[in-house]
Amino acid sequence: MTQEEKQLLLIDLCARLPYGIKCYEADVEYTFDIIGTTTNNKEFIFSDGYERNLEQIKPYLRPLSSMTEDEKDELYDWGWDVNGDDIYSSSSTDANNVYQTYQKDLRDARWLIDWLNAHHFDHRDLIEKGLALEAPEGMYTTE
């Protein structure tokens, strides 16, 4: 694992901590929940009480293609459209007020990232990069 891959995985996993994230450890072929990180963010603390570093684990994430119709509808209600593995803003912009539009877009983007993390979607292509595993259907229940 390269330093760049470690950094990407660290950023992603830390952002998901409030939502719970299941990981696989190859050495013991078992799935654990991450419950925290060490003070130096070098290792993660798991539900079994042990610490593991990034090279030992792979998170389970949902591909965007596994999004349910209800989830797509929720995104649409917030001004986002889903087309396959692409998510894009469907809201119109006001060319006369660029600052207000920027602030709205920034708030919307933050909401979208939090929503994707809470629903365990792989919005950084970690599965494709070999840094995560596709979550089996039903591993993460959706609300």
Tell me, what's the pLDDT at 100? 47
3-state SS class at 84: coil
- 98-117: per-residue pLDDT in tens? 444 555 577 788 889 999 99
Tell me, what's the pLDDT at 142? 52
Please compute the mean of the pLDDT values over residues 1-13 and round it to a whole number.
89
16 or 102, which is more confident: 16
Please compute the mean of the pLDDT values over residues 52-78 and round it to a whole number.
89
Mean pLDDT of the chain: 81
Share of the chain above pLDDT 70, in %: 83
- 33-57: per-residue pLDDT in tens? 787 777 766 677 777 777 878 888 8
* Tokens found for residue 4: 């760049």
Domain parsing of the chain, residue ranges:
3-63+121-134, 65-118
Q: Is the pLDDT of residue 140 over 90?
A: no
> For residue 26, how many other CB atoms are within 10 A of its CB?
10
Asked whether 137 and 120 are in contact (CB, 8 A), the reply is no
Please compute the mean of the pLDDT values over residues 12-19 and round it to a whole number.
88
* Tokens found for residue 84: 């396959």
